[in-house]
Amino acid sequence: MNDNLTIQQTIDRYLNSVRLSRSANTARTYRNAMRLFITVLTVHQIDPEQELITKLGEEPVVWMTSALKDYSAHTEQCYLTAMVGFYEYLAGEDLAQINLPRVRLLIKQRARKPGIRLPQFPKSDIETVLEYAANLNQQETSNEIEHLINLRDRAFLLTLADTGLRVHEACNLRRGDIDWHESRAVIIGKGNREAVLRFSRRSLRAIKDYLSARAEMDGSSSKALSSLPVFARHDRASGKKVKPISTTTGREIVNQRVREALGEEAVGTITPHSFRHYFVTTILLASGNLKLAQELARHQNIAVTQRYSHLSDEELDRKYMEIFD
């Protein structure tokens, strides 16, 4: 244990370790957090420039949580994360006798609980995008590749909306995963868990249209058809190889089609996850069955499904009028 380091010197060393291992934004947040911590110590008659780090106990954590009540809940959470990191640093480097479980307990007892932020859900805009996507197969194109891209994007967006697939799951989908007779697929989903996926008629039809147009490309591949991706790249870099699209490409597909259907200002308001939200909400509105929505969305915790169960003002108005008129 180094008995000669002051609190200020130790904070400087801690922030330097953060700077070397974390992003610039995180380092800036931690620096601001420790600046506030120094102020808090000073207010309580502790001079960080003079006081040795070995004298530091857990009580300053309580002072810090009190000082953070004047800050937003988000800032409080970030700064307290920096504080926990500092105390873990002290314990790990054997710079002070720190009771880490007590530090965490003090924070847990005093910190505000972060509120649940409902996902953005522009339902009518999503339906406009889906209507636009459903007709991509009818658009005139200048070459076969453009036509394939239109068919792929049509199938991709309808599949996201009607199956609740996460974007990485859709990108990893293989032809052999789909049981065409049962209109379902067995996939390895979140948490490396096997899951059964069900397809709507329109999503399965869109996939079949796309794969049919891609038949020559798939047939010339040296790989087995069952191993080929459902959603493939159609760019120069991929050449004649049948390669799966990446999650980045999946997001770009959404952005491009949102731009075409709704305009530039709408880009970013709808993400691949918005279609999963649409999927869960559609089930809830049609059935009113939270357990059904949980199972189809493959949520481990029903509380996650409940986050999607809020209704719009328009829907609340309609339900109210149905009850009281």
What local confidence, expressed as pLDDT, does residue 85 receive?
Answer: 92
User: Is 166 one of the annotated active-site residues of the chain?
Assistant: yes
> Is the dihedral angle over the CA atoms 205, 206, 210, 213 positive or is it negative?
positive
Q: Which CATH architecture has domain 123-272?
A: Orthogonal Bundle (1.10)
User: Is 210 one of the annotated active-site residues of the chain?
Assistant: no
Q: Which residues contact 141 (CB under 8 A, 6 or more apart)?
A: 147, 150
Annotated catalytic residue: which of 147, 166, 214, 298?
A: 166
The CATH number assigned to the domain with range 7-110 reads 1.10.150
What local confidence, expressed as pLDDT, does residue 301 receive?
Answer: 76
Q: Which residues contact 85 (CB under 8 A, 6 or more apart)?
A: 14, 18, 30
Residues β-bridged to residue 244: 232
Annotated catalytic residue: which of 147, 154, 276, 277?
A: 276
Digits of tens for pLDDT over the chain (325 positions)?
556 899 999 999 999 999 998 888 889 999 999 999 999 999 999 999 999 999 998 899 999 988 888 887 888 888 999 999 999 999 899 898 889 999 888 888 888 765 545 445 688 899 999 999 999 999 999 999 999 999 999 999 999 999 999 999 999 999 999 999 999 998 887 777 888 889 999 999 999 999 999 999 999 988 999 999 999 999 888 877 899 999 999 999 999 999 999 999 899 889 999 998 888 888 887 887 878 888 887 877 777 777 766 554 555 556 556 655 5
User: Is 190 one of the annotated active-site residues of the chain?
Assistant: yes
Annotated catalytic residue: which of 190, 223, 310, 319?
A: 190
User: Is 319 one of the annotated active-site residues of the chain?
Assistant: no
- Domain positions in the chain are 7-110, 123-272
What local confidence, expressed as pLDDT, does residue 230 receive?
Answer: 96
Cα–Cα separations (whole angstroms), residue 226 to 81, 179, 208, 250, 293: 47, 11, 14, 21, 30
Residue in the block written with tokens 């009818």: 138
Report the C-alpha gap between 102 and 104 in whole angstroms: 5
Cα–Cα separations (whole angstroms), residue 190 to 8, 253, 297, 298, 303: 44, 22, 11, 9, 17
What local confidence, expressed as pLDDT, does residue 255 receive?
Answer: 96
User: Is 22 one of the annotated active-site residues of the chain?
Assistant: no
User: Is 299 one of the annotated active-site residues of the chain?
Assistant: yes
What local confidence, expressed as pLDDT, does residue 19 receive?
Answer: 92
Annotated catalytic residue: which of 123, 168, 184, 273?
A: 273
